[in-house]
Amino acid sequence: MTYFQRSSPNIAVLKKKNPTTEEFDSVVPCLSLFGEFPKEINAHCIDPVLLDIFLIARDSTNIRLKFIFYYQILEYASYYYINNKLKSKLSLILKDPAISDNSNYAIGHIIEEMKDTFSQKDDYSRLEKTVLDYCKIDDIKK
């Protein structure tokens, strides 16, 4: 929750191996600021590696380690950075219904689209693009 609301308490949800509905029916409902707790939570999928690093950085009391962990988040995100234009092109290729019948054609298109991305070894520019695309000044100005 702290990913979405910084003042939220740290909540760990542990899943039981085979929960039964009876176990959950007798439990007191969760507290919600908006009346009843929502049946579904509308949220984006979050990379578990980034989430782990974020939680470790937040809980670290050493300011130097905190800085290193937060910087590691930027490094990780920039390493896997792919701009939205490229994502949409790759998505169109992968959604082609005939992809399984003609995989060589799809592989050729993917390589063609990705060739400029991987020929660019400039870490600085990828980090800069990541920060510009995903960071807001309010998140990092402190």
* pTM listed for this prediction: 0.53
Annotate the chain with DSSP letters as a single string.
Answer: -TTT-TTSPP---PPPSS--HHHHHSSPPPP-TTSSPPSS-------HHHHHHHHHHHH---HHHHHHHHHHHHHHHHHT---HHHHHHHHHHHT-TTTTT-HHHHHHHHHHHHHHHHH---HHHHHHHHHHHH--HHHH--
pLDDT of 113:
79
113 alpha carbon, distance to own chain's centre: 23
For residues 92 and 99, the answer to whether their CB atoms sit within 8 Å is no
pLDDT for the residue numbered 135: 79
Per-residue pLDDT of the chain (142 residues; tens, 9 = 90+): 666 676 777 666 656 666 555 555 555 556 666 667 667 777 667 788 888 898 899 889 999 999 999 999 988 888 877 776 787 788 888 888 878 788 888 888 888 877 776 655 677 888 888 888 877 888 777 6
Structure token pair of residue 60: 């670290």
- The C-alpha torsion from 128 through 130 and 131 to 133, rounded to 10°, is 120
For residue 104, the one-letter residue type is N
